[in-house]
Amino acid sequence: MAAPGAPAAPSGTTAPSDRAAIPLEIAASYRARRRGLLGRDGIDGALLLTPASAVHTFRMRFAIDVAYLTRDLTVLTVRTMRPGRLGLPRLRARHVLEAEAGAMARWGLRPGVRVTVDAP
């Protein structure tokens, strides 16, 4: 889901092993990572920021779940962040997965779970 008038972000699906596919947007450029979820009222699915090791929620309109992922997409930690917060960088994180608050618990994402990403 892209903002109106914005170019479409690369997309695909992501899922913990043996789980249902989750719609995924990939923010791989500096500009796309910088914009992230700013200006949105929500997201269907998730946004993968790559490379990234930290995020913030300044000027965001909703709380988000943040999963810090290693180079091979294994979840290091999952946090819920309210708007106006600054997340500390995670030393081994190379990617960050963002979704609406509560989504990652429903999907079964927790430390140690390996995420797979499939191209559309």
Over residues 27-41, mean pLDDT: 92
Q: How many CB atoms lie within 10 A of CB 6?
A: 10
Of 38 and 7, the structure prediction assigns the larger pLDDT to 38
pLDDT at 50: 96
Please, which residues have CB within 8 angstroms of residue 14's CB and are 6 or more apart in sequence?
21, 22, 24, 45, 46, 48, 97, 115, 116, 117, 118
Lay out the sheet containing 46-49: strands in order across: 75-81, 64-69, 95-100, 46-49, 22-27, 11-16, 115-118
Q: Which residues pair with 96 in a beta bridge?
A: 49, 68
Of 7 and 120, the structure prediction assigns the larger pLDDT to 120
Over residues 95-111, mean pLDDT: 96
Please, which residues have CB within 8 angstroms of residue 8's CB and are 6 or more apart in sequence?
2
- To the question of pTM greater than 0.85 for the whole model, the response is no
- Specify whether the CB–CB gap between 49 and 33 falls below 8 A: yes
Which pLDDT tens digit goes with each residue over 76-91? 999 999 999 999 999 9
HSE-CB at 24 with a 13 A cutoff on CA atoms is 22
Q: Which of 100, 111, 102 lies closest to 44, judged by CA?
A: 100
Confidence at 19, pLDDT banded by 50, 70, 90: low
